[in-house]
Amino acid sequence: MSFNKRIAFISVHGDPAIDIGKEEAGGQNVYVRQVGEALAKQGWQVDMFTRKADATQPAIVEHSPNCRTIRLVAGPETFIPRDKLFSYLPEFVEQLRSFQRDNNIQYSLVHTNYWLSAWVGMELKKYQPIQQIHTYHSLGAVKYQSVSDIPPIATTRLEVEKACLETAARIVATSPQEQDHMRQLMSQKGNIDIIPCGTDIERFGAVSSSEARLKLGIPRSSLVVLYVGRFDQRKGIETLVRAMGHSIFPGLADIRLIIVGGSRPGQSDGIERERIEAIVDELGLRDYTTFPGQIDHETLPYYYAAANLCVVPSHYEPFGLVAIEAMAAGTPVVASGVGGLQFTVVHEKTGLLCPPKDDKAFAQAIDSILSKPTWQAKLGKSARKRVETLFSWDGVAQQLSNLYLSLVDVPTAKPTVNISLKQVSA
């Protein structure tokens, strides 16, 4: 196989070119886009394939020289929840191959993201000599442990995830905890490397707390507790709100709870936001809670920098970009001690870890940081340092680039897996 530095990223449901923070648009979109752009700077030609989910979207978006998003038509050009996308994947594969044919493009490598794209990558390997690298972003084997309504697609997802682990040239786990889960719950076979997610350390570290508060109209004396992320029950916003109900600070100080994230009335994120607002009202927290909606990455650094602490109360988090974004801004993080958060947040060094869903423990952790400004500053400083050392996108992309280069000399393994659409339960 002649080697070229062309790589295809596949992110079927996570469009790297759209607004993040909306339903189903979050860390994966950010990861693919940032890694793609950083790799292009390092000399790779990066094509990022996603499904077109809106007829008005352009088919191709150029992000920078050598890095573009390509939207393929697979199924109706409307939003389809990820659990309903599997049956459109053969069309996605067909469209991708025809794009390659029309433009005479061969890829040496395909980096797939999430299990749907894993299937696409495994299919592509049947038709061309291509090495597959995969990042899960979420593991069915972990997710279904904590979910009561298991969707019909679960069996297929678990099979695809296991097959991908066992046959991809390399799996990228974003934390040691994710690697452990793969080994304990999925398979002993397959090659795993640990390369974390990253963040834009310049962008998120560019603003001082006083500048940020000036811009957002928050007095210097106020205490600010921040949440950033999607409105989804598994994100545990309820735990944070209930923790604020236990906090000793309302009444003692000008405290503010800011809950950042997009939502659309009537959709699942809009419904979750209404549920959260009802809890805010029930606990009498309305006066000091604000919902500024979806905030983009231009403005988010001001929120992180203005906050005394950022809370990530997720029930589970494979990695959790929000934690490292806050840390890059020098803001300590109070997080659930789950998944990748146990790797990014170092307990009592860069923030505090609490048992998930334990609102009393979160209240204690929040209050202990708010009541000790010197300790807060110390935690924030160490947080920034940890992110600089481990989690810059350029550093992450460099590690990925080294991984890709180590693979391109290796002969492509013959695909051995065949998971067909017939296996999907209705």
Q: 348 in helix, strand or coil?
A: coil
Q: Which stretch, 139-147, 259-267, 352-360, 418-426, contacts ligand UDP (CB under 6 A)?
A: 259-267
Q: What is the dihedral angle through the alpha carbons of 95, 99, 104, 107, rounded to the nearest 10 degrees?
A: -70
Residue 177: CB minimum distance to ligand UDP, A: 14
- The residue number with the shortest CB distance to ligand UDP is 26
Task: Choose between 76 and 292: whose C-beta lies nearer to ligand UDP.
Answer: 292
The CA–CA distances, whole Å, from 122 to 33, 109, 415, 416 equal 22, 12, 7, 9
* Helices and strands in the chain: count of H runs, count of E runs: 16, 14
Among 30, 96, 173, 352, binds ligand UDP (CB under 6 A): 30
The CA–CA distances, whole Å, from 241 to 42, 72, 87, 278, 358 equal 43, 40, 39, 11, 11
DSSP 193: E
Among 121, 205, 320, 356, binds ligand UDP (CB under 6 A): 320
DSSP 422: G
Residue 426: CB minimum distance to ligand UDP, A: 28
Rounded to the nearest angstrom, the gap between the alpha carbon of residue 98 and the centroid of all alpha carbons in its chain is 30
DSSP 78: S
Using CB under 6 A as the binding rule, whether residue 242 contacts ligand UDP is answered as: no
Task: Choose between 123 and 269: whose C-beta lies nearer to ligand UDP.
Answer: 269
Q: Which stretch, 68-76, 170-178, 314-322, 345-353, contacts ligand UDP (CB under 6 A)?
A: 314-322
Using CB under 6 A as the binding rule, whether residue 203 contacts ligand UDP is answered as: no
Residue 8: CB minimum distance to ligand UDP, A: 22
Using CB under 6 A as the binding rule, whether residue 380 contacts ligand UDP is answered as: no
Q: Which stretch, 72-80, 97-105, 223-231, 282-290, contacts ligand UDP (CB under 6 A)?
A: 223-231
Spatial neighbors of 199 by CB under 8 A, at least 6 apart, are: 321, 324, 325, 328, 387, 391, 392, 393
Using CB under 6 A as the binding rule, whether residue 262 contacts ligand UDP is answered as: yes
Residue appearing with tokens 């025809």 = 98
Using CB under 6 A as the binding rule, whether residue 228 contacts ligand UDP is answered as: yes
Nearest to 17 by CA among 76, 77, 61, 51: 61
Q: Which stretch, 176-184, 211-219, 254-262, 349-357, contacts ligand UDP (CB under 6 A)?
A: 254-262
Judge whether 320 and 314 are in contact, CB under 8 Å: yes
321's tokens? 């970009």
The CA–CA distances, whole Å, from 406 to 2, 170, 410 equal 14, 10, 8
Provide the sign of the torsion angle of the four alpha carbons 305, 307, 308, 314, taken in this order: negative
Residue 167: CB minimum distance to ligand UDP, A: 26
Residue 125: CB minimum distance to ligand UDP, A: 27
Task: Choose between 26 and 250: whose C-beta lies nearer to ligand UDP.
Answer: 26
Using CB under 6 A as the binding rule, whether residue 20 contacts ligand UDP is answered as: yes
Using CB under 6 A as the binding rule, whether residue 325 contacts ligand UDP is answered as: yes
Task: Choose between 320 and 356: whose C-beta lies nearer to ligand UDP.
Answer: 320
Among 215, 264, 275, 297, binds ligand UDP (CB under 6 A): 297
Using CB under 6 A as the binding rule, whether residue 169 contacts ligand UDP is answered as: no
Residue 297: CB minimum distance to ligand UDP, A: 5
DSSP letters for 276-328: HHHHHHHTT-GGGEEEEE---TTTHHHHHHH-SEEEE--S--SS-HHHHHHHH
Nearest to 320 by CA among 330, 333, 309, 305: 333
Residue 348: CB minimum distance to ligand UDP, A: 22
Among 26, 140, 198, 313, binds ligand UDP (CB under 6 A): 26
Q: How many angstroms separate the CA atoms of 81 and 322, rounded?
A: 23
Spatial neighbors of 160 by CB under 8 A, at least 6 apart, are: 115, 118, 119, 122, 419
Residue 404: CB minimum distance to ligand UDP, A: 23
Task: Choose between 39 and 329: whose C-beta lies nearer to ligand UDP.
Answer: 329
Task: Choose between 229 and 250: whose C-beta lies nearer to ligand UDP.
Answer: 229
Please count the CA atoms within 13 angstroms of the CA of 175 that sit on its side-chain side: 22
Using CB under 6 A as the binding rule, whether residue 27 contacts ligand UDP is answered as: yes
Residue 339: CB minimum distance to ligand UDP, A: 10
List residues binding ligand UDP (CB under 6 A): 20-21, 26-28, 30, 228-230, 260-262, 294-297, 300, 319-322, 325
